[in-house]
């Protein structure tokens, strides 16, 4: 398990990696565009949050647990998410498609997080959305022959694998600190929130998922697998162990491949 300071080092190093060749011309067909554009616009909007409420919750939490480096780690995590939004926005600009300013899914999520200061709920929400994002971006990558868009998706998928690990480690710390009674409640609440949100993501973006070869059955199996690897193991108090940087790199690459 990494410390917050080690995660800061990871995010700093990852920011130096350039996986997208912006010299490539976008090459998306009219048919492909009709299947992906609305979901692409919605996720681009969702990736552009300034993260102010999350940073506020992280600051309160870091003070409570005496982990001052955690706030910076969260800020760098948000910056990486914003990079995804910037890249998707840049791609939309390149294919002459507008960036949208409002979407019902994004609006719902923003309203919920506006009132939330619980680091546990924040972490649960991020794990859930990031898990769905892995399936989404793999489907988006499969739904087009555009090399530029595929590179953007690959870059996001690599980042998201680390993001989930970052959040799952924090959730394990939070869960371990809870009283026995609240742990029992969390074991019921985690899957309820995770799979209810997963259903919303499916219904909002099923057209793109299907275009990328992911039907509901495959999507649901993927989400079940992702839940077991994160929140299920946390709720059973299974430790998330890191044996070496090489092992983590391999695990993250495998997570991308099976998404």
- Domain-by-domain residue ranges, the chain? 26-258
What integer pLDDT is reported at residue 257 of this predicted model?
A: 44
**Ranges of H-type helices in the chain:** 4-14, 30-46, 52-65, 69-94, 104-114, 119-142, 147-176, 180-211, 216-227, 233-235, 245-258
Going by CATH, does the domain composed of 26-258 fall within 1.20.1260? yes
Secondary structure letter of residue 232 according to DSSP: I
Length of the chain: 259
pLDDT, tens only, 76-101: 999 999 999 999 999 999 999 999 98
Statement: the pTM of the whole predicted model exceeds 0.85: yes
Tell me which DSSP letter residue 3 carries. Answer: -
Most confident of 46-50, 79-83, 242-246: 79-83
* Token pair 């690959």: residue: 154
Torsion sign across C-alpha atoms 221, 227, 232, 238: positive
**pLDDT tens track for 170-190:** 999 999 999 999 999 999 999
Give the per-residue pLDDT at 111: 61
Residue 259: pLDDT band (50, 70, 90) is very low
When the pLDDT of each residue in the chain is averaged and rounded to a whole number, the result is: 89
Give the integer Cα–Cα distance in Å for 116 and 177: 19
Instruction: Between 102 and 213, name the one with better pLDDT.
Output: 213
Tell me the average pLDDT across 12-32: 96
* Residue 218: per-residue pLDDT: 98
Per-residue pLDDT at 206 exceeds 90? yes
């Amino acid at each position: 398990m990494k410390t917050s300071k080690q995660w800061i080092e990871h995010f700093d190093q990852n920011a130096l990696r350039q996986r997208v060749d912006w010299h490539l011309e976008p090459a998306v067909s009219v048919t492909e565009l009709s299947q992906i554009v609305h979901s692409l616009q919605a996720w681009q909007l969702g990736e552009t949050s300034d993260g102010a409420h999350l940073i506020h919750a992280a600051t309160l939490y870091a003070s409570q647990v005496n982990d001052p480096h955690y706030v910076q780690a969260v800020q760098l995590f948000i910056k990486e998410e914003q990079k995804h939004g910037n890249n998707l926005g840049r791609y939309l600009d390149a294919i002459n498609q507008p960036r949208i300013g409002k979407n019902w899914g994004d609006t719902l999520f923003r309203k919920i997080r506006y009132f939330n200061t619980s680091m546990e709920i924040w972490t649960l929400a991020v794990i859930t959305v990031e898990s769905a994002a892995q399936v989404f971006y793999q489907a988006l990558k499969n739904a087009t022959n555009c090399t530029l868009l595929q590179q953007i998706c690959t870059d996001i998928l690599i980042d998201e694998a680390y993001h989930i690990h970052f959040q799952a480690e924090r959730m394990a710390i939070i869960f371990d600190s809870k009283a026995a009674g609240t742990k029992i409640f969390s074991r019921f609440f985690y899957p309820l929130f995770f799979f209810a949100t997963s259903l919303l993501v499916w219904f909002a973006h099923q057209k793109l998922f299907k275009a990328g070869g992911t039907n509901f059955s495959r999507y649901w199996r993927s989400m079940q697998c992702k839940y077991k690897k994160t929140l299920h193991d946390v709720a059973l108090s299974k430790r998330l162990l890191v044996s070496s940087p090489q092992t983590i790199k391999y695990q993250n690459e495998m997570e991308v491949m099976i998404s």
